[in-house]
Structure 1
Amino acid sequence: MVIIISGGSGSGKSAYAEKKILSLRGAEPLYYLATMQIYDTEGKKKVERHRKLREGKGFVTIEQPLNVGAAADAVEEQASVLLECMSNLAANEMFANAETGLPEVSQVEERVMGSVRMLAERTKHLVIVTNNVFEDGNSYDEGTMRYMETLGRINCRLAELADEVTEVVAGIPVEVK
């Protein structure tokens, strides 16, 4: 089962995603697939906050900021996996080699979706957290706009693949699919 949890920054989507995966989990192993790359103090604080939220809940954490499909081998068959977060993963994949130029949107989309399919085939439950970055109405530089387009296309493909899609708004989960 694939479940997508979407929402804006600070919407409560991470806490909801943790509750969701814990409610689905039976006796199978529980994994937290972390995609955030830490660059500064703010990033460290965010990661620490998420670690404290997971404390004592039985998660095995795998740090995988790129190519989450490579983590599939480290995940036991039929495990429950929380992938946090697609927006970080998409950014990491897009900007990993930015000095040589940005990849095409379709390249990043295919690479990410291939990894997600690998995880989905191996797991019993796959809950994916993603951001809704499209509501502020601002225009950005070309790289940011390309990232937003990429994440938007990935989110649409994830929604097609998913059994359930939930948007979290101000801490309130709204079932979409």
Structure 2
Amino acid sequence: MMTLIIGGSGSGKSSYAEDYIATCSKDSRKYYIATMQVFDKEGQAKVEKHQKMRENKGFHAIEQPISIGKVLEKTGDTPVSESTALLECISNLVANEMFFGNEPKEIKRITEKIIREVEQLNKSFKHLVIVTNNIFEDGMIYDETTMDYIQAMADINKKLAMMADKVIEIVVGIPVVLKEGK
């Protein structure tokens, strides 16, 4: 089963996702797939905040800023088919994939790669919860590279929503179920 949780910055989506996965996982092993790369003090503070939020929640953290399909190589001997995973978050993953190396990558390739790897995780874990950002409501026009990123996020979020069994939007801390069942 796959659940997509979407919301704006500071909406409470991460906290909600962690509580949500606790109800899904029951006694099964829980993985936290962290995609953020730390580049500065602000990023480090955000990572520390999220680590503190999930402290004592029983997550096994896997740092995987790119190529999330490789997560399966890092789960050890535990069969993941009975485990749950929280992928936090798609916006970091897209940025990391697009800007890994010297030049931005072509968005169609990045979109296809991320979707393919999410499908792989979804088939492997009993329950996959994915957090993503709603970055589409400011109405601004940006430079070409930023617009490519926004387009990639739009394409990926649409495909994930279609794949998901459940889609929940967090609006000012309130979960709104947008989709229940395929």
Q: 2:112 corresponds to which residue?
A: 110
Q: Deviations over 1:23-45 (max 9, x none)?
A: 11122110000000000000000
Q: 1:126 corresponds to which residue?
A: 128
Q: 2:80 corresponds to which residue?
A: 77
Q: 1: CA distance between counterparts of 2:116 and 2:96?
A: 15
**Deviation, structure 1 residue 103:** 2.0
Question: In the alignment, is residue 9 of structure 1 matched against residue 18 of structure 2?
Answer: no
Q: 1:47 corresponds to which residue?
A: 47
Percent identity between the two aligned chains? 50
Q: 2: CA distance between counterparts of 1:105 and 1:139?
A: 18
**Deviation, structure 1 residue 81:** 0.2
Return the TM-score normalized by structure 1: 0.96
What SS is found at the alignment partner of 2:61? strand
Counterpart residue identity of residue 12, structure 1 = G
**Deviation, structure 1 residue 74:** 2.3
Counterpart residue identity of residue 146, structure 1 = D
Q: 2:165 corresponds to which residue?
A: 163
Q: Point out where structure 1 has 5 or more consecutive residues left out of the alignment.
A: none
What SS is found at the alignment partner of 1:20? helix
Return the TM-score normalized by structure 2: 0.94
Q: 1: CA distance between counterparts of 2:56 and 2:11?
A: 23
**Deviation, structure 1 residue 105:** 1.4
Q: 2:23 corresponds to which residue?
A: 23
Consecutive aligned runs of 4 or more in structure 1 exceeding 3 Å deviation: none
**Deviation, structure 1 residue 7:** 0.5
Aligned residues: 175
What SS is found at the alignment partner of 1:152? helix
What SS is found at the alignment partner of 1:176? strand
CA RMSD of aligned residues (A): 0.9
Correspondence for 1:172 among 170, 174, 182: 174
Q: 2: CA distance between counterparts of 1:63 and 1:33?
A: 6
Counterpart residue identity of residue 108, structure 1 = I
Counterpart residue identity of residue 126, structure 2 = K
